[in-house]
Amino acid sequence: MKVAIIIDGRRVQIDRGAPIIDAARKAGIFIPTLCYHEALKAYGSCRLCMVEVIQNKQSRLVTSCNFPVEGGMEVFTDTPRVRKIRRVIVELLLARCPDVPLIQTLARQMGIDFSRFKKKEEKQCILCGLCVRFCEEVVGVGAIGLANRGTEREVATPFRVASDVCIGCGSCTYICPTGCIEMVPDEERPKLRRMNLGKLSLSPCPNNYQCEACSIEQEFFEDIKRVIADFRNRHKTPSF
């Protein structure tokens, strides 16, 4: 069932229950995201996509990538409260990964020159979980997961040993926005590659991280479908 909502003053008709971010995109309104990808289930972890919603005369902040649209809802994507939260998130990320081009770009777009937060150990992973979800939901393998809690949280293979289920398709390296996964030759299986979680620098995106309208993204999906199908054909378990 279609419902109508008002987003930044524009009326949008959309399926009831669709995430707010879809309505924003339909209205041509940009909301920054880090852990969201339209090919994957929403995860709602980075909080960068926060918007302000007014429902039943009450205002609250919600993550637009996983908050469902209801008829009569009013959404504001660029209020002082929203901007303040996004700035804090980007400053925290800038303290965690100062060398990551994507984070530098986001900071620049928000006019942030430095982070007020103290740098601890410099990391490259922003824990967006895109690699984990892509490996599980699209590739269908589940070779990596998010392990541990708090400051110890990390992407890892079970028991942190080289995965024996990874098919070396490279999807995780492609989808990772910070470039901290790399593919390396597999010594045991010379024709294959394996994924390595480590520190690897990516060059900034040639399309300024505008993934929605990116032809590179489309080509990637076509390639990856081919790679996965090819792998499965070559490694078919014989049926008896």
Size of the site for ligand SF4 (CB under 6 A): 28
Q: Quick one: which of 49, 97, 125, 176 contacts ligand FES (CB under 6 A)?
A: 49
Q: Could you tell which of ligand FES, ligand SF4, none binds residue 77, using a CB distance below 5 to 8 A set by kind?
A: none
Establish if 21 lies at the interface with ligand SF4 (CB under 6 A): no
| Of residues 116-145, those binding ligand SF4 (CB under 6 A) | 125-131, 134-135, 139, 141, 143-144
Q: Could you tell which of ligand FES, ligand SF4, none binds residue 65, using a CB distance below 5 to 8 A set by kind?
A: ligand FES
Strands 154-156, 145-147: pairing kind: antiparallel
* Min dist. Cβ of residue 168 to ligand FES (A): 28
Establish if 33 lies at the interface with ligand SF4 (CB under 6 A): no
Token pair of 211 as six digits: 């993934």
Stretch that binds ligand FES, among 27-35, 146-154, 177-185, 204-212 (CB under 6 A): 27-35
Are 51 and 75 in contact by the 8 Å Cβ rule? The answer is yes
Size of the site for ligand FES (CB under 6 A): 12
In 96-160 the beta strands, taken as DSSP E runs, fall at: 145-147, 154-156
* Min dist. Cβ of residue 76 to ligand SF4 (A): 28
Distance, CA of 44 to CA of 186 (rounded, Å): 34
Establish if 77 lies at the interface with ligand FES (CB under 6 A): no
Helix, strand or coil, per DSSP, at residue 3: strand
Q: How many CB atoms lie within 10 A of CB 183?
A: 18
CB proximity list for 13: less than 8 A, separation 6 or greater: 2, 3, 4
Token pair of 213 as six digits: 């309208």
Query: Within 13 A of 236's CA, how many CA atoms are on the CB side?
Result: 7
Establish if 170 lies at the interface with ligand SF4 (CB under 6 A): yes
Residue 147: beta bridge partners? 154
* Min dist. Cβ of residue 128 to ligand SF4 (A): 4
* Min dist. Cβ of residue 133 to ligand FES (A): 12
Are 13 and 4 in contact by the 8 Å Cβ rule? The answer is yes
Tokens 């098919």 locate to 167
Residue type, 9: G
In the complex with ligand SF4, the residue whose CB is nearer, 19 or 168, is 168
Q: Could you tell which of ligand SF4, ligand FES, none binds residue 135, using a CB distance below 5 to 8 A set by kind?
A: ligand SF4
Kindly list the residues in this chain that would bind ligand SF4 in the complex (CB under 6 A).
Answer: 125-131, 134-135, 139, 141, 143-144, 155, 166-172, 175-178, 180-181, 195
